[in-house]
Structure 1
Amino acid sequence: MGGGYVTTLLLLVCISGLIYLLVRRPRSQRSHLPPGPTPLPFLGNVLQLKVEGMLNSLREVEQGLLFSNGERWWQLRRFSLAALQDLGTGQRSVEKQIQDEAQRLVEEFKKTKGLPFDPTFFLSRSASSVICSIVFGQRFDYADKSFLDLLVKTNQVFVRLSSTWGQLYERFSWIMRFLPGPHKQIFQDLEDINSFILERIKANQVSLDRDNPRDFIDCFLLQMEKEILNPATEFHLRNLVLTAFNLFFVGTETVSSTLRYGLLILLKHPEVEEKMTQEIDRVIGRSRMPAVEDRSRMPYTNAVIHEIQRFSDVIPMNLPHALTRDTHFRGYTIPKGTEVFPVLSSVLRDPSRFRDPERFNPMRFLDEQGQFKANEASMPFSTGKRSCVGQELARMELFIFLTAILQNFTLKCPVPPRDIDLRLRGAGFAHVPPCYQLCAVPWGGGSRAQEELPKDRPQGTAGAMKGPNPAT
């Protein structure tokens, strides 16, 4: 009895001493770091992160960790920017592809005959087809089973990375790979997507025309050949797969998610839709497809799209950036190699930059004369050297797709607009648009505000159509 008591006491003393040393040491090491709770060994501050509201938890923790950067990032980014430019991104050739996809999207909407439908994969197919044309050199038919399966897996990865399980996987991938849980499907989906990309690369290798690169993969393969004798080259097969995946994944999900949020917002605010359609009628009409050059003459539509991007805040935490040297910031020292999240939400919803930021209001992007007014705090694509390489392409898509839809349809909701819930979902990597249904009623003349929903529409609505709306 006495021996057991002494052993227990010694264990408690040892454990207490170990905890003291582990807690005390980080404090001394972090004396010049920005303030925040003391991290635990191995776990860091993960216990301070809430199951729901990862972003708000990170704001409380005030530190950012994840991912890596460096020379690899710099070389691949510089190459990607040049290759995308050579392939016509931001130019007429790509604009024509977007217009063609917008016309196909309109035809797909018409097939719904004004009945309620979930727009998720309608929008994903259109956005993905554009980026597929650039990365893989071809678009895929909307009925292509392998393409649809790829979109489903891409959407699942996007959603799961935004869950708590996904965040744990990102932070502790070295151990999470061996633990059960929903995150396990991320591995399989990523493997399947990368296998698809690898097959496309192999096909390009067989048919490569060195004088006429067809797509991003061809451009990368040619760069691989140029640097084949460089032992430190970043242009090898693995990086090609990863870079092609990044372009495909981001080019599909961020654009389609923004459009999905945008349509939901317009269902909530039919008066905004009405003003947009009036501007579309005045500037474009109904006899031709919208073009990028129309945007400068459509300040209200431009303002709405900017406000949709600000309000939807699709990638709230941005991507992590690693410091290349010790950095002194506001009296603190952040050591080289520290991974920092430049949280975009802190800017996009900054009340000092956007009055009443939780309210959707396109007028904040218009001046007193009704002309478009830029705001330097509007940075959905990030800013500086780490801004999105595909932002010009995304801007073109958002404008053409959205205006083409409103040019041809009146958007109707199966429930009253007051019941639509605009609260953002997702807690980690992204804000995932809620599931909902809409009715795209073909415009047949007269006032859009007087058009009614079909009498035989199916009953029932999705979760996004229920509950109070804190955004109004």
Structure 2
Amino acid sequence: MPLVILSGFQAVKEGLIENSEIFSGRPVTPFYQAVAQEKGIVFSNGHTWKQQRKFGIVTMRKLGMGKKGVQSQIEEEACQLVETYAHAKGQPLDPSLPILNSVCNVICALVFGHRYSVDDEQFLKLMSSIECSVTFGGTFFHLLYEAVPWLMKHIKWPYKKAFAAVDVVLSHARKETEAHRMQLAEHDPRDFIDYYLLQMEKSKNDPTSTYDEPNLFQCISDLFVAGTDTTSATLQWGLLLMVTHPDIQEKVQKEIEDAFGSSQSIGYQDRKKVPFTFAVIHEIQRFKCILLAGNPRETVQDVTVLGSFIPKGTVIVPDVHSVVYDPKIWETPRKFNPNHFLDKDGKFVDREELLLFGAGARECPGKEMAKMELFTFFTSLLRAFTFKLPEGVTEVNSEPAKGLTMTPQHYKLCAIPRLSES
């Protein structure tokens, strides 16, 4: 298959934004064809993709505006995360699993209408399966399957665990759907599954409808896999950067304290009150870009980008690192510098060059929810704790672990309750 890499902001912008519809295809490789069968949102194309994506975006907006919408669920999980860290009483802890639990529970509340206890057997199984699905991508056996699928179909042992992990998520979605169907309230949908079941019923006589159970189950899988690992990894990098940049951590804490005191709750709607903190969150995303490359696209017709002809059916890979580390765009691209997102008066500046959620027709549908999570979790943790390295540890490994997402190596830190600092 022909492949073109878009390198530099102008190439990425002209391709993904200015020619958004032409670059809206998704190449479906042999492994992901076997896993997703072109269902759901991430790995579908054409009419199926357009219908499923539109439904996903509209439904997430509805859930966000409900009485117990997404923001309140995120705030609840942030409180649970603070409590979990507080139980360590300032002793060294690995922050990754509690973060993963909390982020995953936000998706559970959105999709299933309820959260799980962190020691619930089903929840632990679901978490393990999501992690397995994410870490398999980019491995030797994944790439081997893509290269020689006809052979790998006969050598099943390297893929048993990966396919079993996918089955766990899909079977859990199936089980939850059956439970929802038994108590479906037509005028009071509670979550993503309720809305989808109502849409299936509404569209049952429409021959063009793609609303069916296989698409529902794959949409749920897409939400979990895409919405858990990325947000979790970004928060882990954020805490690590606060440990290694105590001056910035202190400045964030002072700004939060000045804006909200010690009792007022903080929601995403309050982000304008803490421009430096908001800039720090964006700089974490830029400086520790968790994407190895942007999600691949495929051209659905011939197109010319920056004078270069690209034929229909070409795989397109946006090189996000060429954008987020470009010295022509960023003052200190290889240094952690929140001023990249502040103007001379200290006000937050949104930069179009930060393309970590994609852009154009294939932009991540969960972008707003991810932003809400990052802001709420980060401010809650920095308000409650000062993060430091364990005694005797003088440096940390800042190199990412290998994989499709650039997650931190496992590390430990101390979450010192701020009330006890004095």
Alpha-carbon distance in structure 1 between the residues aligned to 2:65 and 2:292: 25
Q: Which residue of 2 aligns with 1:187?
A: 163
Alignment of 1:393-432 (within 5 A): 393-414=369-390, 419-427=395-403, 429-432=404-407
Q: Secondary structure at the match of 1:104?
A: helix
Q: Which residue of 1 aligns with 2:100?
A: 124
Alpha-carbon distance in structure 2 between the residues aligned to 1:90 and 1:367: 35
The question of whether the paired residues in 2 share the 8 Å contact of 1:70 and 1:324 is answered with no
Alignment of 1:460-471 (within 5 A): none
Q: Which residue of 2 aligns with 1:319?
A: 295
The question of whether the paired residues in 2 share the 8 Å contact of 1:66 and 1:339 is answered with no
Q: Report whether the alignment pairs 1:176 with 2:164.
A: no
Q: Which residue of 1 aligns with 2:222?
A: 246
Aligned length: 389
The question of whether the paired residues in 1 share the 8 Å contact of 2:268 and 2:375 is answered with yes
Q: Secondary structure at the match of 1:100?
A: helix
Q: Report whether the alignment pairs 1:141 with 2:87.
A: no
C-alpha deviation, 1:238, in angstroms: 0.8
Q: Report whether the alignment pairs 1:73 with 2:73.
A: no
The question of whether the paired residues in 2 share the 8 Å contact of 1:81 and 1:389 is answered with yes
Decide whether aligned partners of structure 1 residues 271 and 311 sit closer, same or farther in structure 2, where only a CA change above 3 A counts: same
Q: Which residue of 1 aligns with 2:59?
A: 83
C-alpha deviation, 1:91, in angstroms: 8.9
The question of whether the paired residues in 2 share the 8 Å contact of 1:89 and 1:392 is answered with no
Deviations 1:220-250 (A, max 9, x none): 1122222223344221111111111111222
- Output the aligned Cα RMSD: 2.5
The question of whether the paired residues in 2 share the 8 Å contact of 1:303 and 1:366 is answered with yes
Unaligned 5+ segments in structure 2 are 7-25, 30-43
C-alpha deviation, 1:71, in angstroms: 2.1
C-alpha deviation, 1:174, in angstroms: 5.2
Q: Which residue of 1 aligns with 2:191?
A: 215
1:439 to 403, 414, 418: 414
Alpha-carbon distance in structure 2 between the residues aligned to 1:112 and 1:374: 36
Q: Which residue of 1 aligns with 2:265?
A: 289
Alpha-carbon distance in structure 2 between the residues aligned to 1:34 and 1:291: 41
Larger radius of gyration: 1
Letter in 2 for 1:141: S
Kindly report structure 1 stretches of 4+ aligned residues shifted beyond 6 Å.
none
Q: Secondary structure at the match of 1:201?
A: helix
Q: Secondary structure at the match of 1:342?
A: strand
Structure 1 vs Structure 2: percent identity of aligned residues? 37
The question of whether the paired residues in 2 share the 8 Å contact of 1:268 and 1:418 is answered with no
Alpha-carbon distance in structure 1 between the residues aligned to 2:392 and 2:370: 31
Q: TM-score, normalised by structure 2?
A: 0.85
2:135 to 159, 167, 170: 159
Q: Secondary structure at the match of 1:87?
A: helix
Deviations 1:324-366 (A, max 9, x none): 2122223433232333222322222222212332222112111
Decide whether aligned partners of structure 1 residues 171 and 240 sit closer, same or farther in structure 2, where only a CA change above 3 A counts: farther
C-alpha deviation, 1:271, in angstroms: 1.6
The question of whether the paired residues in 2 share the 8 Å contact of 1:409 and 1:442 is answered with yes
Q: Report whether the alignment pairs 1:273 with 2:270.
A: no
Q: Report whether the alignment pairs 1:226 with 2:202.
A: yes
Alpha-carbon distance in structure 1 between the residues aligned to 2:299 and 2:320: 18
Deviations 1:120-161 (A, max 9, x none): 110011111111111111111122121022112211221221
Letter in 1 for 2:417: P
Alignment of 1:289-368 (within 5 A): 289-368=265-344
The question of whether the paired residues in 2 share the 8 Å contact of 1:177 and 1:184 is answered with no
Deviations 1:8-34 (A, max 9, x none): xxxxxxxxxxxxxxxxxx9xxx7xx86
Q: TM-score, normalised by structure 1?
A: 0.76
Q: Which residue of 2 aligns with 1:470?
A: none
Q: Which residue of 2 aligns with 1:387?
A: 363
C-alpha deviation, 1:182, in angstroms: 4.7
* Range 409-418 or range 383-392, more displaced: 409-418
Letter in 1 for 2:418: W
The question of whether the paired residues in 2 share the 8 Å contact of 1:344 and 1:382 is answered with no
Letter in 1 for 2:359: T
C-alpha deviation, 1:96, in angstroms: 1.5
Alpha-carbon distance in structure 1 between the residues aligned to 2:338 and 2:144: 36
Q: Secondary structure at the match of 2:416?
A: strand
Q: Secondary structure at the match of 2:382?
A: helix
1:199 to 175, 183, 205: 175
